[in-house]
């Protein structure tokens, strides 16, 4: 019947910290998810490509490496620890968007430049929140 006992204070504090971090990350993501300039990064790539193009994408990127703002937002909403354990883990997932563009489209493609701009702006916002 240990599951009926009240959670330890340390556990409760951690959950509160995670909830606060999730709130900050959602606040950071919101303007970019609403921005028309970044609309292609707001939804899963499988919705943007034909079936054949998506197969090519998965082969090049890796099925476990798919990343977009919607995936990050949903994981933050769910308090998924691997996304919100720290600002650094959040940043790694955001950076994966630009990395995937670079791998698939190449370093000089417009999508890659746009993704890098998105990542840079989010990183600036994270740094502002850290200050």
Residue 64: predicted pLDDT: 82
pLDDT tens digits along 26-62: 999 999 999 999 999 999 988 999 999 999 999 999 8
pLDDT tens digits along 103-127: 999 999 999 999 999 999 999 999 9
If you ran DSSP here, which 8-state letter would residue 37 be given? G
Other CB atoms closer than 10 Å to residue 49's CB: what's the count?
15
Residue 4, domain member (yes or no): no
Distance CA 15, CA 123 (A): 24
**Residue range of the domain that includes 53:** 9-130
Residue 11: predicted pLDDT: 53
- Whether the CA torsion 121, 71, 100, 55 is positive or negative: it is negative
pLDDT tens digits along 59-109: 999 878 899 999 999 988 887 777 677 888 899 999 999 999 999 999 999
CATH number of the domain to which 76 belongs: 1.20.920.10
Domain count, the chain: 1
Element (H, E) at 107: none
Residue 1, domain member (yes or no): no
Confidence of residue 9 (pLDDT cuts 50, 70, 90): low
């Amino acid at each position: 019947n240990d599951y009926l006992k009240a959670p330890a204070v340390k556990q409760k504090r951690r959950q509160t910290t995670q909830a606060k971090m999730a709130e900050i990350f959602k606040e950071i993501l919101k303007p970019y998810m609403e921005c028309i300039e970044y609309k292609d990064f707001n939804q899963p790539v499988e919705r943007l490509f034909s079936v054949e193009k998506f197969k090519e994408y998965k082969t090049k990127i890796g099925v476990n490496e798919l990343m977009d703002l919607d995936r990050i937002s949903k994981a933050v909403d769910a308090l998924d620890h691997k996304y919100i354990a720290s600002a650094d883990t959040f940043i790694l997932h955001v950076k994966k968007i630009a990395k995937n563009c670079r791998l698939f489209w190449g370093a000089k493609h417009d999508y890659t430049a746009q993704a890098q701009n998105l990542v840079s702006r989010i990183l600036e916002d994270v740094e502002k929140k850290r200050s």
